[in-house]
Structure 1
Amino acid sequence: MKVALVNLKGGVAKTTSSVYIAAALTREGTVVLLDGDPQGSASDWTGLVEDSGETLPFTVKVVNQRTMKKAAQGFDHSVIDTPPGNPQVIDAAIATADIVVIPTDASAMDIQRVWPSIEAATRAGKPAAVLIVRARLNTRSLAIAVETFEKAGAAVIDAHIPLREDIKNAYGTIPTNLHGYDQVATDLLEVHSGIAS
């Protein structure tokens, strides 16, 4: 399964979600995280883990729009981290992916930034689902966000990633408590299984 994390807006936890989903998918086979963001945050994350004498449980490769598809080969699962505002890399990631995941906060402004990413996935004929991150669980704002997406016909991943300090401070560490990203990975595998059959 190949999953692209896409959002034209920056600061929506694409890299964090990519690392956590990659970690969750290692329970289901070999995983590569393709770092398509020129800022290289996922690669830097890897370097910090290695500097501490440890190793992430998945491979990380730096890619661009030309090398992405080939770099995804040879692994059971690929997770693609994309930059904001780089249409060439985003389009290549969507073309490579089986499923597009769009991380977002539940705020009204962030919700508005999701639609162009959904439209890009739809144009490419790829299924897309919204992943609500930094969620304040059991709040009206979360319920309104889910309702807004569902009324517009957008798929929303059932597992919402809670606002947690240890997720915020996980950069450069190996994710152990997955805070719902394990359920996200399970949901994505089920969707992929439905696509493949």
Structure 2
Amino acid sequence: AAAKQNPEWTVAVLDCDPQRSASDWWKLADSVDDSPAFSVVTDAGDVDADLLIVDTAPGSGSGISEAVTMADLVIVPTEAETMSMFRAKKTIDAVGSKGWLLLTKARRRTRLWADTVEAIEQTGVRCFKTFVPDGVKYKGFATNPSDLGAYTDLWLEIRTIVERGN
């Protein structure tokens, strides 16, 4: 979304996840002539970009600590259900004031959604107003959709947060 909303920027994803899902996704999209408007690299030394997004595996470790130190903002995606949200809160607590919760697979018309929103309010976790709804549209592997849906709104929200200093 950042690359599409700001085509004058160079955007890169640093794939630090041992599974290399971001790299695999990019290569497969490229192989069908649907290359994303950003690059994916696996070595921080290869990065020359206006905006760097670091993809890490869940958990902890030196790679994550280094990414958090470098970051202006740490996005912790979690499914929109209370147990996942409480696990994500531990990560947000660990990263401090840079941490923001991103609710994914959201189904707003469910009791589970209402419980999740209530839990967020009770814990005081900073959460993006934008959420990613549950849907097939976001599950396609190696696709580069022209309509990014919620991710466009999310990017605009992220940019506003970073510009105002978190």
Query: TM-score by structure 2 length?
Result: 0.90
Runs of 4+ residues over 6 Å off in structure 1: none
Q: Which amino acid aligns with 2:162?
A: H
Q: List alignment gaps of at least 5 residues for structure 2.
A: none
Coordinate RMSD, CA, aligned: 1.7
Q: What does residue 143 of structure 1 align with?
A: 114
CA contact (8 A) 2:74 2:98 kept: yes
Residues 12-67 of structure 1 deviation map (CA, whole Å, 9 limit, x = unaligned): xxxxxxxxxxxx1012222111111011000000110111123111011113xxx3
Q: List alignment gaps of at least 5 residues for structure 1.
A: 1-23
Residues 105-163 of structure 1 deviation map (CA, whole Å, 9 limit, x = unaligned): 122221221122112211xxx42111100101233322221221222121110111111
Q: Which amino acid aligns with 2:99?
A: A
Q: What does residue 163 of structure 1 align with?
A: 134
Aligned residues: 163
1:30 and 1:138 map into 2 onto residues whose CA distance is 38
Query: TM-score by structure 1 length?
Result: 0.77
Matches within 5 A, 1:27-176: 27-28=5-6, 29-63=9-43, 67=44, 70-72=45-47, 74-122=48-96, 126-168=97-139, 170-176=140-146
CA contact (8 A) 1:99 1:128 kept: yes
In the alignment, which of 6, 25, 43 is matched to residue 2 of structure 2? Answer: 25
2:164 and 2:119 map into 1 onto residues whose CA distance is 25
Q: Which amino acid aligns with 1:25?
A: A
